[in-house]
Amino acid sequence: MSGGRILRVAVNLPSQVDIVDQALQDDFPEVHFLKARAYDELARVLPSCQVLITNNSGYTPEVGRLAVRHAPGLEWIQFTTTGIDTALRSGLPPGAVVTNMRGVRAEVLATHAMALLLGVMRGLHSFEPLRERRQWQRDAMTPFTRALEGGTLVIVGLGSIGSSIARKARAFEMRVVGVSRQGRSAPHCERVVPHTQFREVLPEADALVLALPLTEETFHLLGRNELAHMKPGAVVVNIARGGLIDEPALIAALQQGRLGGAGLDVVESEPLAPDSPLWGMQNVLLTPHIGGRGGVEQDHRLAALLADNLRRFQAGRELRNRVDARTGLALDAHADHPAGDQPSADPPGAGR
Half-sphere exposure of 100 (CA within 13 A, CB side): 32
270 is catalytic: yes
5 is catalytic: no
Q: 188, 195, 241, 352: which is the annotated catalytic residue? A: 241
Contact 223, 249 (CB under 8 A): yes
Q: 105, 289, 322, 337: which is the annotated catalytic residue? A: 289
Three-state secondary structure of the chain: CCCCCCEEEEEECCHHHCCCCHHHHHHCCCEEEEECCCHHHHHHHHHHCCEEEECCCCCCHHHHHHHHHHCCCCCEEEECCCCCHHHHHHCCCCCCEEECCCCCCHHHHHHHHHHHHHHHHCCHHHHHHHHHCCCCCHHHHHHHCCCCCCCEEEEECCCHHHHHHHHHHHHCCCEEEEEECCCCCCCCCCEEEEHHHHHHHHHHCCEEEECCCCCCCCCCCECHHHHHCCCCCEEEEECCCHHHECHHHHHHHHHCCCEEEEEECCCCCCCCCCCCHHHHCCCEEECCCCCCCCHHHHHHHHHHHHHHHHHHHHHCCCCCCEECCCCCCECCCCCCCCCCCCCCCCCCCCCC
241 is catalytic: yes
Contact 161, 106 (CB under 8 A): yes
Q: 62, 173, 270, 318: which is the annotated catalytic residue? A: 270
Distance separating alpha carbons of residues 147 and 137, to the nearest angstrom: 19
Q: Which residues are catalytic?
A: 241, 270, 289
